[in-house]
Amino acid sequence: MKNKLLPIFITFIFVIVFAIFYKGLKETNIYTPETKTNYEVPSLLVELFDTNEIVNTLEIFNSDKFYLLNIWASWCVPCKQEHPILMELKKNDNLNLIGINYKDTKKNGNNFLKEFGNPYDKIIFDNKGTNAIELGAYGVPETFLISKNRIIKKYIGPLNNVSMEEIKLFIK
C-alpha cells in the first residue's frame, strides 16, 4: 500500500494546484488593488483654494449631510469628461461637493473652473498631492462618498452615468 500512497498523494496535490490556478484565471482581477472603504476621514490640515485659509478636514466634513469629495486637476483629461456629471450632482441639496485640486496651480485651476463651471462648495488646494495620499487616494480623477465622517465608497477613475445613479441612490 505504501508504494501506491506517494503517487496518489502527489497527483492529488497537483490536482489541487490546477484547480486553484483554474479558478484564478476566471477571476481576471488578480493583482488589482482592493479599494479600502469604510474608514474614517483622517484629521489633516489643508489649504483652501479660494481663501488660502488653513483648515482641518474634520471641520469641512462636519455636518450630517453627504459629501462627495472629488479629486481633479486642470491637466487631467478624464476630469473634463466627468465634469458634467459633477455639475448634475451639484443640484442635489443633501450633497455637498468638495473638490481637491491635485498637483495644479491656482491659475490653471481657476481657468478650468471658469471654462467648465464650478460645482464645488469648497475646494482644497493640494499642489503636492500629499493630501490625496493621506486620504488614501490613488490619483486623479477619483471620487469619495463620505457620510458621518466615514468614507463609504470610492470611485477610481472618472465618474460616469452608472456611478452617478449609484451616488443618487446612496444619498436618498
Written as nine digits, the cell of 142 is: 477619483
How far is 163 from 78, CA to CA, in rounded Å? 15
Stretch that binds other proteins, among 14-22, 46-54, 93-101, 112-120 (CB under 8 A): 14-22
Q: Does 53 bind other proteins (CB under 8 A)?
A: no
Q: Does 172 bind other proteins (CB under 8 A)?
A: no
Q: Does 138 bind other proteins (CB under 8 A)?
A: yes
- Strand order across the 150-156 sheet: 39-40, 150-156, 142-147, 66-72, 95-102, 122-126, 45-48, 54-56
User: Which residue in 5, 34, 77, 93 binds other proteins (CB under 8 A)?
Assistant: 34
Closest CB to other proteins among residues 11, 43: 11
Written as nine digits, the cell of 74 is: 486642470
Question: 54-93 mask for other proteins (x: CB under 8 A)?
Answer: ---------------------x------------------
Q: Does 23 bind other proteins (CB under 8 A)?
A: yes
User: Which residue in 115, 130, 148, 150 binds other proteins (CB under 8 A)?
Assistant: 130
Phi-psi region of 38 (alpha: psi -120 to 50; beta: other; left: phi over 0): left
Phi first, then psi, for residue 59 (nearest 5°) are: -75, -30
Contacting residues for 146 by C-beta, under 8 A, at least 6 apart: 41, 61, 66, 67, 68, 69, 152
Task: Give the residues lining the site for other proteins (CB under 8 A).
Answer: 6-7, 10-11, 14, 18, 20-28, 30-34, 36, 39, 75, 102-105, 108, 127-130, 132-136, 138-140
